[in-house]
Structure 1
Amino acid sequence: MTFIALVAALLIEQARALSAGNPAHIAFLRLSDALERSLNSGRYEHGVLAWLIAVVPIVAAVVALSAYLDGIGPLLVLLFDVAVLYLTMGFRQFSHAYGDALAALRAGDVARARLSMERWLLRPASDLGSNELARLAIERGLLNAHRHVFGVIAWFAVFGAAGAVFYRLAAMLHDRWSQRPARTETDFGTFSRAVFRWCDWIPVRLTAVSFAVVGDFEDALYCWRSQAANWPDPSEGVVLTSGAGAIGVRLGSTLGVVEPLEVRSEIGTGEDADAELMTSAVGLIWRALVLWLFVISLVTAASWFG
């Protein structure tokens, strides 16, 4: 059922993508903001309490509903799993923005590419050149593919619908409570960071391995081993270095003169980023997804006939 649910959810999303501003996501973000306003006194234990209030009731409800539907019949469980995956996976949530930037760079319209990246990343891009825009797009595309697709699949494959929901909520709280500079100065977001790093430890490595398998294996592993720890977020570094090595592109490095100036280590190997390598990154993600589905189909078949 895992394989069938994944394929069905991916097909539905390709036909009718769920926007990042869909009601379910907006409702949870409003809940997280309300909890932060009410409980954020800068203390670690208040961050723990807020996280538990935000996540545990929702995950418990998914577990209870899954168990109830399982008692009625497997078809209802399958439909529920597809619905959960449709809500938690977001392949098309970022692919449109990526595609817009790619089309603009292919046409040589750097100004339009800058606008596309600004809308996508919610950050200034007016001083970035075409190579820097392509570099940023590949980085964000690889990370979003992991967060919105591979990480969710990994948790769903092991823990079912509740696992997919848990991973997605943990990722959203990590981004909401601990990523903005003003919020890193207090201990409120420390727990959300720690939980997400824990639950993402295995998925990021599975994603990195899959990039290596479907890309340049040796360069992917070399970049992963030698460069991942130099990235500001080592977990993100695992995904980015493996992906960069797999397609032979240089990522990272200082980005223009954006305020605040971003000084980052150079990662990857080979050519500087451009529209052609953006296309290669898309191919890498799709090949990795096919690999994941193939492995899951083998496990599913083994469970059926074993």
Structure 2
Amino acid sequence: MTLLSLIFALALEQLRPLGNRNRVWLVFTRYANHLERNLNAGSNRHGVLAWMCAMLPPVLLSLLVYYLLRAVSPVLGLLWNVFVLYMTMGFRHFSSAFSEISLSLSEGRDADARATLSQWTTQSTVELSANEVSRLAIEQGVLDSYRHVFGTMFWFAILPGPCGAVMYRLAQMLNQKWGVRELAEDRFGLFASKASAWLDWIPVRLTAASFAVMGDFEDAIYCWRSQARTWGSYAEGILLASAAGALGVRLGDPLKQDYTVKFRPELGLGDEADPNFLRSAVGLVWRSALLWLLVILLVSVASWLG
């Protein structure tokens, strides 16, 4: 059922992509804002309480509905899994912007590519060259593919029913809302940040290994081991360094933004990023996703035979 749920959800998402600002997530965002207004006293224990209050009801509800529907019919349980996965994962959350940037650059419409990238990443892009646009688009695409595909797939496959997918997506949302705090004395979002890091520890490394297997293995592993720690976030550094090595492209490096130079570590080996590497990055993500589906199939067959 796990494999079929993933295949049907990915197919449905390709046919009818679901935007990030759908009603379900807007309701959860309002609920999280309500919890923060009423529980945020600036301490870590209040953040833990708010995180548990935000997470447990939807996670347990998704699992309860799954078991109730499966008791009536396995098909209903499958459909519930597909629906939840459709709401929590998907390539199209980022691939449409990725494709538009690639097309704009290949047709020489650099201004359109910069505008699309700015809307996607919420960063200033007016000073970026075509190569810098390609580089930043690949980086954002790799990170989004992990958040919207691989991380969700991993926890869905590990936990019963669709509760793993719900847990991972909500944990990511809470980390984005509460995990980054400007004031050092505000420790409300500390647990949300740590919980997100815990949930990412294994799937980040499995995703990087998948990039290595489906690309240039030696360069991907070399870049992972030698360059990942130089990035601000080690988890993001693992993903970006392994993807850059697998693709044979240079990521990171300085960018011209906000009328200054934003210095960043070098990631990867090989050539400067260009529109051709954008298409290669999409192919790498798809091949890695298919590898995960194959592994899930083999595990399912082995479990059935056992």
Q: Give TM class, smaller chain.
A: over 0.9
- Correspondence for 2:251: 251
Gaps of 5+ in 1: none
Distance 1:27 1:245 in 2: 40
**Distance of aligned partners of 1:156 and 1:253 in 2 relative to their CA distance in 1, 3 Å threshold:** same
Q: Deviations over 1:49-84 (max 9, x none)?
A: 111111111111112222222322211111111111
**Distance of aligned partners of 1:276 and 1:39 in 2 relative to their CA distance in 1, 3 Å threshold:** same
- Correspondence for 1:57: 57
Identity %: 49
- Correspondence for 2:113: 113
**Distance of aligned partners of 1:184 and 1:162 in 2 relative to their CA distance in 1, 3 Å threshold:** farther
Contact 1:143 1:239 in 2 (8 A): yes
**Distance of aligned partners of 1:301 and 1:244 in 2 relative to their CA distance in 1, 3 Å threshold:** same
What is the 5 A alignment of 1:217-236? Answer: 217-236=217-236
Gaps of 5+ in 2: none
* Paired residue secondary structure (1:18): coil
- Correspondence for 2:262: 262
Distance 1:86 1:260 in 2: 41
Contact 1:183 1:189 in 2 (8 A): no
Aligned residue type for 2:7: V
* Paired residue secondary structure (2:5): helix
- Correspondence for 2:171: 170
* Paired residue secondary structure (1:142): helix
1:265 Cα offset (Å): 0.9
- Correspondence for 1:30: 30
1:27 Cα offset (Å): 1.6
Distance 1:190 1:262 in 2: 27
Aligned residue type for 1:34: H
Aligned residue type for 1:15: L
1:34 Cα offset (Å): 2.6
Contact 2:255 2:261 in 1 (8 A): yes
Distance 2:140 2:41 in 1: 32
- Correspondence for 1:8: 8
Distance 2:229 2:40 in 1: 31
What is the 5 A alignment of 1:1-306? Answer: 1-159=1-159, 160-179=161-180, 182=182, 186-258=186-258, 262-306=262-306
Distance 2:195 2:8 in 1: 30
**Distance of aligned partners of 1:154 and 1:99 in 2 relative to their CA distance in 1, 3 Å threshold:** same
Q: Deviations over 1:234-279 (max 9, x none)?
A: 0111111110100011111222033786332111111111101111
TM-score of the aligned structures, taking structure 2 as reference length: 0.95
Aligned residue type for 2:285: I
Deviates more, 1:260-269 or 1:224-233: 260-269
Contact 1:211 1:220 in 2 (8 A): yes
**Distance of aligned partners of 1:85 and 1:193 in 2 relative to their CA distance in 1, 3 Å threshold:** same
Distance 1:185 1:258 in 2: 29
Distance 1:263 1:35 in 2: 38
Contact 1:177 1:183 in 2 (8 A): no
* Paired residue secondary structure (1:203): helix
Aligned residue type for 1:163: G
* Aligned-CA RMSD value: 1.6
* Paired residue secondary structure (2:127): coil
Deviates more, 1:41-50 or 1:161-170: 41-50
* Paired residue secondary structure (1:21): coil
Distance 1:127 1:213 in 2: 36
